[in-house]
Amino acid sequence: MSAPAACSPSRFATEILSADPESFSFAPRDPAESPLLRPVLQVKDSPKAQQDHASLLRAVELLRSNEPVAIPTETVYGLAANALSPEAVAKIFLAKGRPSDNPLIIHVSSIEMLLSILPSELSHRIPQVYQALIDRHWPGPLTILVPRSSKIPKQVTGGHDTVAVRFPSHPIARALISLCGFPLAAPSANTSGRPSPTLAGHVFADLQGRIPLIIDGGSCDSGVESTVLDGFATPPAILRPGGITYEQIKAFEGMENVRVYRRDYVDEALEAAPTTPGMKYRHYSPNVEVVLFEVSSTEGHLPNEAVLSKRRAMVQTEITKRLESSPGPIGVLRTWFAAGDTEGGFRYDGNVAELALGAESDPHKVAQELFKGLRELEERKVAYIFVEGIGEKGEGLAVMNRLRKAASTVVSV
């Protein structure tokens, strides 16, 4: 299926309104019930919070008129629109230049809202396979696949009979969904194929003129998108690794045999349909060739020092080789500058622009900085981006999943 024209004329003077996540909190409607069943939004009693509330109400007004609005979530910025309106959902695809057969995630702000969109045979009950996971990891970066009911327009799921749902933890995302009173469909708020946005400025760079409003809630905590879990598959399958790790999911009853797509198995039918992240379309790529240096390690372990030193030496050799004919500086995304470093940073010597994301032992930090790092080196007009791959422990699995899709060349160390 072809992508909608990515170069339709600008329609909007894109506005950016900032809001502090701390202005909003949530309380159970009834102290006796689960806090997630029907939470009530509370706005702090301060002039700043009232102003933030007014900014969210402006977003709600647009969302109610079926316009898309970019919003912060704890993973990446999302381009949100009314999930129950085919007209609103179509505008997401248009603004992003997203192929219409690539399904969207629906965001809810209460368990009651989740139940309201399940098919009638499932309503009033969360599928058993997800109950414990939801109790532990919602709100948060865990997306579950459930059967699609007729309440969800076909445009949301690209015609598939399952729909992806998550309950974000970001106070601004939660507040907006509850103020709207309907679920929001939201893919990452980037131009299709580009690195996902973790700052409002990234959204503006990609979508200015294409959307009316961006709510700026600061930087996203997780930095990579949510984990997409198909609990109905046998055995259950992680279709996209993300903020909730393989190790965390595997610890649940019924999830002992969970498999990770592409790492543990590949499905020909899935490869042909883009029901899962990065299978059919280009993903996460800056407009610069990305070369990934991939390290191997035993499952659940970090690569050893010898492997890491070899990786660094191979990157150095490649830099020397390419610099002779490189049309510009070479960008390098490193884990750290020197063994033992725990802080990131930037260095430039006229030939090589290096960005340190975070320590090898801290994949959460590397995940947080990853998309920002790719965009930053691209802005510095580097000719190539070399990336030091990390071990697949914890969020390292999500980091490597995104990097393999962004890279046009993968070098095994």
Residues that bind Mg ion (CB under 5 A): 188
| Minimum distance, C-beta of residue 412 to ligand TXA, in the bound complex (Å) | 26
The residues pairing with 280 across neighbouring beta strands, listed in sequence order, are: none
Among 101, 221, 225, 378, binds ligand TXA (CB under 6 A): 225
**Residue 185: which of 210, 156, 206, 159 has the closest Cα?**
156
| Minimum distance, C-beta of residue 173 to ligand TXA, in the bound complex (Å) | 8
The interface partner of residue 219, options being ligand TXA, Mg ion, none and the CB cut-off 5 to 8 Å by kind, is: none
Kindly state the tokens that stand for 342: 């725990």
| 85 in contact with ligand TXA (CB under 6 A) | no
User: Around 74, how many Cα atoms within 13 Å sit in the side-chain half-sphere?
Assistant: 21
Alpha helices (H) in 99-148, listed in sequence order: 111-117, 128-137
| 102 in contact with ligand TXA (CB under 6 A) | yes
| Minimum distance, C-beta of residue 188 to Mg ion, in the bound complex (Å) | 3
Among 64, 160, 322, 380, binds ligand TXA (CB under 6 A): 160
The interface partner of residue 143, options being ligand TXA, Mg ion, none and the CB cut-off 5 to 8 Å by kind, is: ligand TXA
- CB nearer to ligand TXA: give 245 or 335: 245
Query: How far is it, in rounded angstroms, from Cα 110 to Cα 125?
Result: 13
Tell me the CA distances in angstroms from 239 to 169, 242, 264, 331, 340, one per residue in order: 21, 10, 11, 30, 34
Question: Are 236 and 227 spatial neighbours (Cβ–Cβ below 8 Å)?
Answer: no
Burial of 202 from C-beta contacts in 10 A (0-12 / 13-18 / 19+): buried
> Site size for ligand TXA, by CB under 6 A?
27
In the stretch 259-298, what mask flags binding to ligand TXA with x, by CB under 6 A?
Answer: ---------------xxxx---------------------
Query: How far is it, in rounded angstroms, from Cα 412 to Cα 408?
Result: 13
| 207 in contact with ligand TXA (CB under 6 A) | no
| Minimum distance, C-beta of residue 251 to ligand TXA, in the bound complex (Å) | 21
Tell me the CA distances in angstroms from 390 to 5, 236, 330, 363, one per residue in order: 36, 26, 20, 8
| Minimum distance, C-beta of residue 225 to ligand TXA, in the bound complex (Å) | 3
Residues near ligand TXA, by CB under 6 A: 73, 75-76, 78, 102-105, 141, 143, 145, 157, 160, 162-164, 186-188, 225-226, 228, 239, 274-277
